[in-house]
Amino acid sequence: KNQVEQSPQSLIILEGKNCTLQCNYTVSPFSNLRWYKQDTGRGPVSLTIMTFSENTKSNGRYTATLDADTKQSSLHITASQLSDSASYICVAGAGSYQLTFGKGTKLSVIP
């Protein structure tokens, strides 16, 4: 069964600090790993997409890493801002568009 586990479930950090979110996945055949940001009551917005051969991808202050051998990914947020408060969802892709979503990590950035 395809699964995506994220940790921590929730996280509170001070504005300006860095943080790292973790994702473990079991998906077969593994194709790609995505990170999305979802604001409360809104649809997810794509942050990064990595194919199985990529190790890292950046999008501004967001940097995602992928270790396909250990089936782990992380999302690092640098110099956090209040607007970064949201749920961050890890998504593992099998084939061309079969996606398995994690439950997300709820990040709260406080002043």
Q: Give the nearer residue to other proteins in terms of CB position, either 77 or 104.
A: 104
In the chain, the N- to C-terminal Cα span, in Å, equals: 41
- For residue 87, give the nearest of 1, 23, 27, 17 by alpha carbon: 23
List the interface residues with other proteins, window 45-104 (CB under 8 A).
45-46, 49, 51, 89, 93, 96-97, 99, 101-104
Which parts of this chain interact with other proteins (CB under 8 A)? 4, 31-32, 34, 36, 41-46, 49, 51, 89, 93, 96-97, 99, 101-104
